[in-house]
A and B are shown apart, each in its own frame.
Chain A
């Protein structure tokens, strides 16, 4: 029937055209809202406790949603583009209010919080506050104390507080032995490269979050490189003392008995010996945190 077929055609065309138009409008809406719009909501929310009551028993689900938003926005892939670090703590605050037993929010959230921009919000004190709430709500989870110690040592330069954290953690039933070992190291009050390495290794082993893993690996690689560079430059100095001149290449050092073979980086390429006696890596971009531990071996605080 012609009349009806007309309607079918018109309606179908309209359906497709209008929907396409709506998708276009929606993209513009997203543009105007900005990428942080959904997150900014946290700034306007009443406290997490009120939200928990309003969520009518679905607080766990809601916590997961907020945590997913935090990961999406602050995860390693996006952190370089995000500017709203002020949103991170409120997000984590709400998340842990809604679900105080969401361990990952404390563990990984604390790392996001304490790392300096552009890797994180650069708020280690807030990270400590978060972790303290975490251990209060989850007294059996001793690994939270590890993260707490990590934050105190690495980001807050406070070995006493770090020692305190490791000691508290070591007392929790089921805690692994090296919590005591770490506590002892803290007690030496030295900010040394091996302790830092051990802490980052610990983070690497315990974390479940992909982005935190990546951060930890990058730190480890950089620390390794720093360590190697310091050691290599030291041997160059020894060579100079002995021979009165700088080595031309690695073979000079090998022949002098100062090295066994050409030194290679964690990425399996060779370290570069410069003409002024300094040593460097081939590709600095692979070591985002290079230089943090240069010539800082065994320096007292």
Chain B
């Protein structure tokens, strides 16, 4: 059984003053996520990532299409016993303290009182908020609120986690800690579906990723495979800046420091470049094949005109 299965999910908004224009936020998105996977949902701002999550969580309703989570219809309330959600820049009842908030959410998620008491302290400890005591949430910093967000998403020990931009607004230390938390959850065997536009986080944590742009799926697959698909670049370093103009048409990137030149070039063009460099009598220092990056894949997919059906 797949953990998450999305089929032709579509969301159209009526916009404009007379509500006549249509904005297609999602166009027939289809995806699946296996149990235990950490799945990255990538896309530029406005691509439709948050829309997808809002639909899955029942905050908005799809115009067409459906989805299933853990084999059941995505809006089935029983499913919610085993899913957790962290919204982007979460808002909480700021007149409550962290334990009170977690207690409230946990009771809504079906945990009995005794169970709740036990788990709240543990969860707060785990997300690094062990010492907040009775402080009201209105006094929490952004980073602390993000941790509370994670705490409320995992308090009932869900099997599947949905995180919307979990690193947003955090300083490097905060991001490092949240990454650690996600890794920990991954190690527990949970399925994690998180959206982000920070590719390095996706690269570090995800087994598979999908790229979405303008409401359409542009690519999906195992991270390494995707990287390889856009591999084929090499880095060449030589001395002799004068040689640069001759090869300018072949280089993708170039950096000059004094006499030292460093360029990136497509592997197919490598031989021609080297020949030119030798002809210019520059002194070759190094030739290194480069691995493809997710960023390359991302840029390639989001600048294409057409969508890819997975």
Contact = CB atoms under 8 A, between A and B. Distances in A.
B73 interface: yes
B58 to A, nearest CB: 9
Interface string B45-66: 0000000000000000100000
Contacts of A2: 73
Interface in B55-111: 61, 73, 75-77
Q: How large is the interface on B (under 10, 10 to 19, 20 to 34, 35 or more residues)?
A: under 10
Interface of B: 61, 73, 75-77
Interface of A: 1-4
Given A1-B61, A2-B73, A3-B77, 4 more contacts: A1-B75, A3-B73, A3-B75, A3-B76
A1 B60 CA distance: 13
Nearest to A2: B73
Contacts of A3: 73, 75-77
Counting chain B CB atoms within 10 Å of each CB, which of A1, A2, A3, A4 scores highest?
A1
Nearest to A4: B75
A8 to B, nearest CB: 12
10 contacts: A1-B61, A1-B73, A1-B75, A2-B73, A3-B73, A3-B75, A3-B76, A3-B77, A4-B61, A4-B75
A4 B76 CA distance: 10
Contacts of B73: 1-3
B36 to A, nearest CB: 28
A111 to B, nearest CB: 59
Nearest to A3: B75
Contacts of B61: 1, 4
Nearest to B76: A3
A46 B241 CA distance: 104
Contacts of B77: 3
B67 to A, nearest CB: 11
A4 B77 CA distance: 11
Nearest to B77: A3
A86 B195 CA distance: 78
Nearest to B73: A1
A2 B74 CA distance: 12
A280 to B, nearest CB: 77
Contacts of A4: 61, 75
A3 B73 CA distance: 10
B71 to A, nearest CB: 16
A220 B92 CA distance: 79
A2 B73 CA distance: 10
Nearest to A1: B75
B72 to A, nearest CB: 11
B78 to A, nearest CB: 10
A2 B76 CA distance: 9
B256 to A, nearest CB: 61
Contacts of B76: 3
Which A-B residue pairs are the 6 nearest by beta carbons?
A1-B75, A3-B75, A3-B76, A4-B75, A1-B73, A3-B77
A300 B73 CA distance: 100
A4 B75 CA distance: 9
A20 B136 CA distance: 46
A1 B77 CA distance: 12
Contacts of B75: 1, 3-4
A112 to B, nearest CB: 57
A94 to B, nearest CB: 48
A2 B75 CA distance: 9
A253 B77 CA distance: 100
B291 to A, nearest CB: 45
A3 B61 CA distance: 13
